[in-house]
Chains A and B, each alone.
Chain A
Amino acid sequence: MELITPNIGLIFWQLVIFLIVLFLLAKFAWKPILGSLKEREDSIENALRMADQAKLEMQQLKAGNEKLIAEARMERDKMMQEASQMANQLIEQAKNKATEEGSRMIMQAREAIQNEKHAALTEVKNTAAKLSIDIAERILRRELADSGSQQQLVDSYLKDVKLN
């Protein structure tokens, strides 16, 4: 009977001490512990979700990259084509221009040669005329010392002029 008769003193102390322990533990132990556990679980869940999201983003990024690379390759091909086309065009143009320039220069040269020739001919003519005149003058000066030969010469000249 002794064993199953609750003692009022022990009930009192048990109640008081248990409630104090409950209050203190709830405030200083369970609250921070459960809070930290919850926080940690939340952060783990967050991290997992973020990892999933990152994976997805990564995949999207990869797909985007591949598209970009393909586009870039296409662009490059196009550019290369255009460039070679342009180069060909340029070469053609240059060739044409060079030919044109060449022929123009040849023409100019020809013209200049012609001009020079004319000038030279004129000079030769003039010099020849002057020489002739000089020679004629000297001859005449000697020949025409007498008036009979002078007359004779004039006559022959006049005859020539008529012929001209």
Chain B
Amino acid sequence: MKRLLIALFCILSLPVFANEPVATQAEATDKEAFSPSEMILHHIGDSHEWHFATLGDEEHGTHFTIPLPVIAYQPTKGLSVFSSSNLAHGEAYNGLKLEHEHLVAEDGSKVYDFSITKNVASLLLSAVILLLVFTAVARGYRKNHGKAPKGVQSFFEPIITFIRDEVAKKSIGPKYERYMPYLLTIFFFIWFNNLLGLMPGAANLTGNIAVTMTLALMTLVITLASSNKNYWAHIFATPGVPKPLLLIMIPVELIGVVVKPFSLMIRLFANITAGHIVVLSFISLIFIFQSIYISPVTLAFGLFINVLELLVAILQAYIFTLLTAMYIGGAVEDHHDADFQMGGGDGAEPAHAH
């Protein structure tokens, strides 16, 4: 799967790589060549500081940066907390330094990095936004009790009822109410963070594998925690399958249990990251060609992809929520069609063959 992803990235960034030699030749006289892949990876990756813009060149220009707290745990030294500005420009502090945005100890010992990175800061920001928005919506319900919805409340109400009626009720069935808070939270969390990720200078949170992995793991835990005996019976004694085939079916079904959340993790990560890479690639074209005449094309395509990403933002949130609901629905389902309408007879009708 990892190899597949790398292949995907290679294809997505192909125009970038294809143009690279040209660019480097054109910039041969410049003291520092522009590397689109490095720029893109820097943008979609995590960072220990929140960098918005730089005026002037790398070394002497003005950096608009918010330093973020570094929280590091070392088994030998314990916990250390300090500002990331201490680590700027590769300097070492407290025996720690940054190597390609990775926190490492100077003596090479193990470091667990719990820093408030750009992604964590963005995560906190989104948490605050989510709480503010939805407590405001809830307040609207209290204020307009028994009246028609108003303002932000009327904007989110159709979405909430859509998640409830079209996603939860249809996929989970009568027990949907227990899972509504999780489904709504995961939907709005992914959507809001997808949108936040499209803002200029924002973090690529939902395109980070750690985030999507955590979300997918939570879905897996909830699915397994709410599974009933039908779910397990389907895995260990798949109905309608002859006994010897179970030797193959049981591992396949068990892999299926893990593959479902794994696909959730990869889908969200790949979609969001790919979108960012494409937008950044188009923007890079200006710097690769070193020409202002390419900018209309860049702008048009960049805008198109950006608008497409707005759609992808809600679409991926919806898909993640829908699939989560379907996995939960499969785990809590009461009744299974034993033969899946494939004819439950004992096959004792060979007379016709002769």
Q: Residues on A close to B: CB < 8 A?
A: 1-15, 17-18, 20-22, 24-26, 28-34, 36-37, 40, 43
Contact = CB atoms under 8 A, between A and B. Distances in A.
12 contacts: A4-B5, A6-B213, A7-B208, A9-B71, A9-B113, A14-B215, A17-B123, A22-B185, A26-B181, A29-B131, A29-B134, A37-B164
A33 B115 CA distance: 35
A18 B177 CA distance: 20
B117 A10 contact: yes
A30 B185 contact: yes
Contacts of A28: 131, 134-135, 138
Contacts of A24: 131
B119 to A, nearest CB: 6
A30 B184 contact: yes
A10 B130 CA distance: 19
A26 B185 contact: yes
Contact of B114 (A5, A9, A20, A25): A9
Interface of B: 2, 5-6, 9, 41, 44-46, 71, 100, 112-117, 119-120, 123-124, 127, 130-131, 134-135, 137-138, 141-142, 145-146, 157, 160-161, 164, 177, 180-182, 184-185, 189, 208-211, 213-215, 218, 269, 273
Contacts of B214: 11, 14-15, 18
A10 B45 contact: no
Contacts of A14: 123, 210-211, 214-215
B45 to A, nearest CB: 6
B276 to A, nearest CB: 11
Contact of A21 (B5, B116, B189): B189
B137 A8 contact: no
Given A10-B46, A29-B138, A21 B184 contact: no
Contact of B138 (A9, A17, A33): A33
B131 A37 contact: no
A18 B209 contact: no
List of 8 A-B pairs having minimum Cβ-Cβ separation, nearest first: A29-B134, A26-B181, A6-B210, A10-B210, A36-B141, A14-B214, A9-B114, A32-B138
B160 A37 contact: yes
Contacts, number: 122
B117 A21 contact: no
Contacts of B45: 2-3
B163 to A, nearest CB: 10
Nearest to B185: A22
A2 B41 contact: yes
Nearest to B181: A26
Nearest to A34: B180
A58 to B, nearest CB: 25
A7 B46 CA distance: 9
Contact of B209 (A4, A12, A34): A4
Q: Quick one: which of B44, B116, B138, B213 has the most chain A CB within 10 A?
A: B138
Contact of B184 (A15, A25, A32): A25
B238 to A, nearest CB: 32
B134 A10 contact: no
Contacts of A21: 127, 130-131, 185, 189
Contacts of A11: 210, 213-214
Nearest to A21: B127
A32 B141 contact: yes
A40 to B, nearest CB: 8
B9 A3 contact: yes
A40 B145 CA distance: 9
A10 B160 contact: no
Given A2-B45, A21-B189, A34-B160, 14 more contacts: A2-B100, A3-B45, A3-B273, A7-B208, A8-B112, A9-B114, A9-B120, A10-B210, A13-B120, A15-B218, A17-B124, A18-B185, A28-B135, A36-B145
A33 B137 contact: yes
A29 B137 contact: yes
Contacts of A4: 2, 5, 209, 269
Contacts of B146: 40, 43
Contacts of B138: 28-29, 32-33
Contact of B134 (A5, A8, A18, A33): A33
A21 B124 CA distance: 10
A13 B273 contact: no
A13 B131 CA distance: 17
B329 to A, nearest CB: 18
Most B C-beta atoms less than 10 A away, residue of A2, A3, A17, A40: A3
Contacts of A18: 185, 189, 214-215, 218
